[in-house]
């Protein structure tokens, strides 16, 4: 039997923040961007009610691991558009690809990714092709 993925949800009524702890690389971008929402020393550590929907969407879009995503409540299908694909090389860190992706792995398996996906640039990740945060411990510069 496969291991069940843990997913935690935190809502402000209009937007639900979805957090998948196993994907998190602990980059700290969430805490740095919205410290009034993300505080790892508190329970619950995410307080979605402390920020606007737009601020949450903007911050979640910067999550390099894809561990954070969101669900907009009361949104009809007509207002839901496809995401623009954007590629961003983070200084001394991963390659971020924002948007919906179809990733074909070296073993031929296919995985669908949505929103931000962090790809390893340093070559040291144990979770290739994805970033696992190892670039910090090897002092990767690029």
* DSSP code string of 59-102: HHTT-SSS-EEEEETT--GGG--PPPPEEEE-TTSPEEEES-EE
Nearest to 95 by CA among 59, 67, 131: 131
Phi, psi of 116 (to 5 degrees): -95, 135
pTM: 0.57
Average pLDDT in the 110-127 region? Answer: 87
pLDDT tens digits, one per residue of 49-62: 999 999 999 898 88
Domain boundaries, the chain: 8-78, 82-137
Topology of domain 8-78 in CATH is: Alpha-Beta Plaits (3.30.70)
Nearest to 52 by CA among 72, 67, 68, 32: 72
What pLDDT sits at residue 111?
Answer: 82
Rounded distance between C-alpha atoms, residue 108 and residue 6, angstroms: 26
Of 110 and 43, which is predicted with more confidence? 43
Give burial (CB, 10 Å; 0-12/13-18/19+) of 124.
Answer: middle
pLDDT tens digits, one per residue of 88-110: 898 999 998 888 888 888 888 88
């Amino acid at each position: 039997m496969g291991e069940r993925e843990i997913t935690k949800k935190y809502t402000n009524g209009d937007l639900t923040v979805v957090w998948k702890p196993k994907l998190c690389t602990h980059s700290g971008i969430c805490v740095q961007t919205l410290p009034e929402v993300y505080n790892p020393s508190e329970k619950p550590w995410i307080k979605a009610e402390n920020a606007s929907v737009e601020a949450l969407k903007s911050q979640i879009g910067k999550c390099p691991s894809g561990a954070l995503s969101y669900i907009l409540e009361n949104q009809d299908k007509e207002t839901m558009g496809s995401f623009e694909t954007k590629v961003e090389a983070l200084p001394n860190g991963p390659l971020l690809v924002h948007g919906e992706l179809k990733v074909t792995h070296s073993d031929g398996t296919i995985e669908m990714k949505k929103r931000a996906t962090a790809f390893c640039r340093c070559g040291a990740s144990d979770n290739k092709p994805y970033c696992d945060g190892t670039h910090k411990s090897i002092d990767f510069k690029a």
